[in-house]
Structure 1
């Protein structure tokens, strides 16, 4: 099969590799028809993780079931399925509590596993023609009959739509409240969509990318361009000096000032400054225990300067961590099915798998108009 292989920093290529196959009775084999490049893939692409060469990337996957293991009961050949990026077992203590991002069995020595991701188990990614899905009955979300026609919407259920929603859940967003979202990338835009859907009265989105801010504005949010004045000051002015009720962090550990100058802790500290006293922050941007590629001494060991004094003084609280996709993907799929939301609005480029290296290069450079790249292995 063809698959996108990581060779080293900023070097990926489409190669012929052995076909994915059923390995255990609980496995499902999926022919991938749609798979996305995620912002978190870029951490690995840039060599900012310990991803070994030779691994297949890709954790936002959708396709058709072509084979099932002997112990699979629910999922059938021919089903269209969206696959949470979390690889869970369904029976450990955390999976039973709905915390599938922290499965205790699928990644020995670590809580949590994912497809094609550094430090998250041996599972091959889905930027390929075929994908083996462990514990298929648990991990496959069987999609409605309109799945083939709405692939670019349903594939967002694999990660970014639930993750954006998770940010609003961690922040505790409720109807009538104000929300500030740092980051207008795909996850930030999904947090924007989720906040609007939840009935937030005022949604402010802070970024430096004008094309992405324009998409946030189309959703009804107030775009705040950090290149045109201090974002914190603009949030405070828009909220009468009080600050937002809730804040969502959707950037991650490679947050930058202008000209892509990395400043660890910048986004988190701006959230502390722009969220009100007793407000709450939801943090879903990727942070890692170590970042050997960081130029910052603290960043290399996964730490950052954090304004805990002001965070404590303001009586704020915070929720963090990867999204438990299965906690949200089923009811979010119903919003897509009933045309209440169309998360595919963020898709800027749809490419065949052979053009994935070019897609990675442009998405990594944050080139204008490259908002979300969808790959089509079958095209």
Structure 2
């Protein structure tokens, strides 16, 4: 089968790799109909992780079940399914608590596993024609009869829609509260959509790319361009000097100031300044235990110079970590099915699999108009 293979920093190719197949009785094989390029893939694409050459990218996957193992009882051949990027067993202590991003069984020695992701197991990604899904009965979310009609909306259930939602929950957002979201990439825009659906009174989105800020404004958010003035000052001006009730970090450790210089602690410290006393901050932008390509010695060790004194003085709280996709995806699927959510408004490009190398190049460069890329292996 064909798949997007990582060769080294900023070098991916579509190559032939061994076919996905049933390896354990509880496996299923899914024919991938839509697989997305995620901002998290860019960390690996740029060589800023220890993702091994020869590995297959792709953790945002949707498709049709074509084969099931003898231990599968619920999922059937022909089902259209969304696949959470985190692979859970369904029976360990964390999975039973709904913390499927931190499964203790699937990848021994590590809490958590994922498709095509650095440090999260040997599982090939789904930027390919087919994908093996372990613990298929647990990990496959069956899609309703409009799966083909709304496939681009459902394609965002595997990661970014639930992750954006998760960020607002980590921050503790309540109806009627204001929220500031740092980052208008796909996850930040999904956090903005989530906050809107949840009844936030004011949603402010900080970025510097006009096309992304325009997408945020399209759903009623207040765009804040941090290249024009201090984002903290702009947020304070929008909130009568008090700061937002809640804040969301949707950028991660490779954040940059407007002139392009990487400053790993930039968004975290801006959030401390932007959020009110006793407010909450949610962090889903990726931060790693080690970053050999980091901008300074602290960053290389996975550390940042954090405004702990101001954070403590303001009595704020922080929630962090990858989203437990299964905790949210069924409910968000139902919102899409009922027409209450249409996350595909952020998709800028729908491309066949063989155009993945070109898509990675444009998306990594943050070229104008390249907001969210979905690949169609079956096209």
- Provide structure 2 residue ranges, at least 5 long, that are not aligned to the other structure: none
**Partner residue, 2:199:** 199
**Partner residue, 1:143:** 143
**Partner residue, 2:248:** 248
**Partner residue, 2:315:** 315
Whole-angstrom distance in 2 between the partners of 1:130 and 1:277: 49
The aligned length equals 379
The 3-state SS of whatever aligns with 1:65 is: strand
The 3-state SS of whatever aligns with 1:298 is: helix
**Partner residue, 2:71:** 71
Whole-angstrom distance in 1 between the partners of 2:179 and 2:295: 32
Whole-angstrom distance in 1 between the partners of 2:312 and 2:332: 34
Whole-angstrom distance in 2 between the partners of 1:134 and 1:260: 41
- Residues 137-181 of structure 1 show CA distances to partners (whole Å, capped at 9, x for unaligned) of 000000000001111100100000000000000011111100000
**Partner residue, 1:81:** 81
Q: Is the 8 A contact 2:180 2:248 kept in 1?
A: yes
**Partner residue, 1:22:** 22
The CA RMSD over aligned residues, in Å, is: 0.5
| TM-score computed with the length of structure 2 as normaliser | 0.99
Whole-angstrom distance in 2 between the partners of 1:346 and 1:142: 23
Whole-angstrom distance in 2 between the partners of 1:344 and 1:295: 34
The 3-state SS of whatever aligns with 2:297 is: coil
**Partner residue, 2:53:** 53
Whole-angstrom distance in 2 between the partners of 1:68 and 1:149: 25
Whole-angstrom distance in 2 between the partners of 1:261 and 1:376: 35
**Partner residue, 2:270:** 270
Whole-angstrom distance in 2 between the partners of 1:245 and 1:75: 42
Q: Is 2:209 the counterpart of 1:212?
A: no
The 3-state SS of whatever aligns with 1:227 is: coil
Q: Is 2:120 the counterpart of 1:107?
A: no
The 3-state SS of whatever aligns with 1:64 is: strand
The 3-state SS of whatever aligns with 1:260 is: coil
Whole-angstrom distance in 2 between the partners of 1:260 and 1:90: 43
- Provide structure 1 residue ranges, at least 5 long, that are not aligned to the other structure: none
Whole-angstrom distance in 1 between the partners of 2:7 and 2:277: 47
Q: Once the 2 structures are TM-superposed, how far is the Cα of residue 260 of structure 1 from its aligned partner?
A: 2.4
Whole-angstrom distance in 1 between the partners of 2:68 and 2:354: 28
The 3-state SS of whatever aligns with 1:13 is: strand
The 3-state SS of whatever aligns with 1:236 is: helix
Where in structure 2 are the equivalents of 1:1-379 lying within 5 Å?
1-379=1-379
Deviating 4+ runs (over 6 angstroms): none
Q: Once the 2 structures are TM-superposed, how far is the Cα of residue 264 of structure 1 from its aligned partner?
A: 1.1
Whole-angstrom distance in 2 between the partners of 1:352 and 1:315: 49
The 3-state SS of whatever aligns with 1:247 is: strand
